[in-house]
């Protein structure tokens, strides 16, 4: 009840201002030759366009479009209020006033259509783009070389044992697999995916998420992650 008591003066003021503006718009339309129900339709059209533009501004989408039609409806309403204060001879209205009143329905229809049917930006997260075709083939990982068994040292003579040790020292060691080189197109796509992920979540993308988004093996994802940092 206390909240309603505070709003009562505001509602009364809004009703009085709306009624006066409605009457002024009706007088202007009637003076411009719009008799009967047409004279009452003009103030309704102006007020509805003003409300539609205000709702578009409150939604946060298409603020520029909302401001354009809000100012047009406000100028129409304010102009009618000022014109009825004695600045114009309503008994003999000028030709430009008749032209504005006659062209208002088309302008109001255009503004209402644009405000009602202009789509806003989607709030859903953008879907990840598909990975482009690899321009360069991935280098296969080399297989490790076989290792000879350890030489016997129990019954071999000293010369034989020394020779076997020399042969074992000269035996080829297993070659470690080098990380596969990532193509430039894949790195560029990974950078775009990482930027979209950071803009959406506010955190840099991790290796597991990058591997899942690109569909590449774990060594390749780690190599790409090191180039993105």
Render pLDDT for 57-96 as a digit per residue (tens, 0 to 9). Answer: 888 777 888 898 889 988 888 888 888 877 777 778 888 8
Say if residue 48's pLDDT is above 70: yes
pLDDT for the residue 2 = 52
Q: Are 224 and 186 in contact (CB under 8 A)?
A: yes
pTM, 2 dp: 0.44
Helices (H), 174-217: 184-201, 207-214
**Which is more confident, 185 or 146?**
185
Structure tokens given for 87: 């600045």
Tokens of 127: 């879907």
pLDDT tens, position by position, 161-188: 555 555 555 555 555 455 556 777 777 8
Which pLDDT score is estimated for 6?
A: 61
Contact between 142 and 177 under an 8 Å Cβ cutoff? The reply is yes
Average pLDDT of the chain to the nearest whole number: 74
- 95-128: per-residue pLDDT in tens? 888 888 888 888 889 888 888 876 655 444 455 5
DSSP assignments along 57-112, one per residue: HHHTSSHHHHHHHHHHHHHHHHHHHHIIIIIS-TTS--HHHHHHHHHHHHHHHHHH
pLDDT on residue 194: 83
Cα–Cα distances in angstroms (integers) from residue 211 to residues 34, 125, 136, 142, 181, in the given order: 70, 19, 18, 22, 15
**Can you tell me the distance from the alpha carbon of 31 to that of 37, in angstroms, rounded to the nearest whole number?**
14
Percent of the chain with pLDDT over 90: 1
């Amino acid at each position: 009840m206390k909240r309603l008591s505070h709003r009562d003066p505001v509602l009364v003021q809004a009703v009085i201002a709306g009624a006066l503006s409605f009457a002024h718009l009706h007088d202007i339309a009637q003076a411009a030759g719009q008799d009967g129900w047409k004279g009452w339709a003009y103030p309704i059209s102006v007020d509805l366009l003003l409300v539609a533009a205000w709702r578009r501004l409150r939604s946060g989408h298409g603020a520029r479009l909302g401001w354009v039609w809000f100012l047009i409806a406000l100028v129409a309403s304010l102009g009618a209020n000022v014109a009825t204060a004695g600045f114009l001879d309503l008994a003999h209205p000028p030709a430009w006033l008749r032209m504005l009143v006659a062209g208002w329905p088309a302008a109001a229809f255009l503004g209402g259509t644009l405000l009602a049917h202009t789509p806003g930006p989607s709030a859903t997260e953008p879907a990840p783009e598909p990975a482009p075709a690899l321009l360069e083939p991935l280098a296969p990982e080399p297989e490790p070389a076989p290792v000879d068994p350890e030489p016997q040292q129990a019954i071999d003579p000293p010369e034989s044992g020394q020779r076997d040790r020399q042969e074992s020292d000269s035996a080829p060691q297993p070659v470690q697999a080098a990380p596969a080189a990532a193509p430039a197109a894949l790195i560029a796509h990974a950078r775009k995916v990482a930027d979209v992920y950071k803009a959406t979540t506010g955190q840099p993308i991790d290796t597991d998420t990058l591997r899942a988004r690109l569909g590449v093996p774990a060594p390749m994802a780690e190599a790409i992650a090191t180039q993105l940092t």
